[in-house]
Amino acid sequence: MADIDALTSSAYAHALEVIASVEPRIAEATRAELADQRGSLKLIASENYASPAVLLTMGTWFSDKYAEGTVGHRFYAGCQNVDTVESLAAEHARELFGAEYAYVQPHSGIDANLVAFWSILAHRVEGPWLEKYGAKNVNDLTEADWEALRHELGNQRLLGMSLDAGGHLTHGFRPNISGKMFHQQQYGTDPETGLIDYDAVRAKAREFKPLILVAGYSAYPRRVNFATMREIADEVGATLMVDMAHFSGLVAGKVFTGDEDPVPHAHIVTSTTHKSLRGPRGGLVLAQEELAPSVDRGCPMVLGGPLSHVMAAKAVAFAEARTPEFRAYAQQVADNAQSLAEGFLRRGANLVTGGTDNHLVLLDVTSFGLTGRQAESALLDAGIVTNRNSVPADPNGAWYTSGVRLGTSALTTRGFGGAEFERVAELIVDVLSNTEAGTTKAGGPSKASYSVADGTVERVKAASGELLDKHPLYPGIDLA
């Protein structure tokens, strides 16, 4: 291991020298980013730390190759090595998740969702339409028929989780392209418990009759029964799509199994490959075999040319996730979230749903007299990196919010355990308890300005520094 650490450190040191020879400011920003990440408590639920092997895999000449198409069917010559990379990444993904089919080309989670949406539309709408007219593809349709098909494709129904209940912008909301593609309605959570009410989802689906039922979340701190969601989808003739971008690492690590594993139940599953999966920034689609031909059209349907260097890094990350060590890591992520939640509850903090059983905690900061934006900013001053987030029926809206979302994936990668997360909860409560909302120029309450009591930032930074020093980030890399 010492030899590997030395090689890794040397690789990064020399790489930065090469970069600095062309644009030294980029090399300096890269060094500064590592220093910032090493010196802060990173609790953003959508972030993690990829391994040096994953990071190094992205910096190769695979970046120079165009490879539109699919394995063995490219629109450019000389893609035999890209075929190897994509095949390996897809193979690891299928084995890791027990999926019938894997598509590893999406550049991001939004791209993966777009591929899934259009694949469903192609399979459920375009395919039957072409069959009706005896056409092989849309080019065989008359202009009038094509106009009618476009109208049909753009007027389908989608039912997804509301934003304030923990859903995501890509699940049919108008700021995102999905909200412009579909006629969309939302299901929420029980106003008393904050939990998904499956009977209410069923009633909404029966009434709305969507083509697509979307399950999955970005800020829901509980598990989902995907078997029940599939029953609801089947009952109304919908395709069940699950976006597991946030919790795919817990699925890969077998923390979520049975009815809580979306892959056996959903028609199509999307994910990012970073977050709890701890790979490179990118997207992934898993699907039942019947949808594979439509998914394979992702490029050029909605994707540009595949990022071959990132697909290579995905293959490395998926290989890492197939190890016993990753399963132990995934379980620790969930255990640490429990410790963080319990640390808050012992100090009287208010958590959405009263706790967690996945990788994230949603803290309602209104009891501290703050908005989410004020809390996020005060915590950042103290070296604790979080992100503000809406809570159910949020009175402050989606910009200022009333909550802060906290995730345990990144600090678990650094080696934090339950005791450290208990301490993290204490530090967060210390900051928020000593932060006051500011006032506007007119003298009213401000949703953005704030003040932190003297000595708080220094005290918390010193305490967090002790935790971070015990669990250094990329300890084998020395860029001094």
The answer on pLDDT for 287 being more than 90 is yes
Burial (CB count within 10 angstroms: exposed 0-12, middle 13-18, buried 19+), residue 4: exposed
- Parallel, antiparallel, or unpaired: how do β-strands 41-42 and 384-385 relate? parallel
User: Exactly one of 270, 272, 353, 401 is catalytic; which is it?
Assistant: 272
Q: How confident is the model at residue 1 (pLDDT cuts 50, 70, 90)?
A: low
Other CB atoms closer than 10 Å to residue 470's CB: what's the count? 11
pLDDT of residue 2: 60
Is residue 136 scored above 60 in pLDDT? yes
How much is the mean pLDDT over the chain?
A: 94
Residue 94 pLDDT more than 60? yes
For the chain, domains (ranges, CATH) are 62-321 (3.40.640.10), 324-470 (3.90.1150.10)
Residue 436 has pLDDT above 80, yes or no: yes
Phi and psi, residue 403, nearest 5°: -135, 165
Angle between helices 198-208 and 226-236 (to 10 degrees): 20
SS3 104: coil
Point out the catalytic residue in the list 30, 38, 47, 68.
68
Contacts of 170 (CB under 8 A, 6+ apart): 109, 110, 113, 176, 178, 243
175 burial (CB, 10 Å; 0-12 / 13-18 / 19+) is: exposed
Other Cβ atoms less than 10 A from the Cβ of 84: the count is 13
DSSP letter, residue 393: T
243 in active site: yes
Ranking 11-15, 133-137, 290-294, 430-434 by mean pLDDT, the lowest is: 133-137
Catalytic residue among 275, 373, 414, 447: 275
| 281 classed as catalytic | yes
> Distance (Å, rounded) from C-alpha 415 to C-alpha 421?
11
The residue from 86, 164, 243, 261 that is catalytic is 243
- 300 prior amide bond cis, ω within 30: yes
Q: CB neighbours (10 Å) of residue 445?
A: 11
Among 245, 244, 249, which Cα is nearest to 50's?
249
Catalytic residue check, 132 = no
pLDDT at 480 over 80: no
Tokens, residue 25: 């400011």
* Model pLDDT, residue 169: 77
Q: Is 45 helix (H, G, I), strand (E, B) or coil?
A: coil
Catalytic residue among 38, 47, 66, 223: 66
What pLDDT score does 379 carry?
Answer: 98
Q: Is the pLDDT of residue 378 over 60?
A: yes
How is residue 311 written in tokens?
A: 């697909």
Query: Per-residue confidence at 227, pLDDT binned at 50, 70, 90?
Result: very high
Show the 3-state SS of 369-382.
Answer: CCCHHHHHHHHHHC
Among this protein's residues, is 68 annotated catalytic?
yes
> Which one of the listed residues 202, 223, 281, 327 is annotated catalytic?
281
Residue 305 and residue 62: Cα distance in Å, rounded?
12
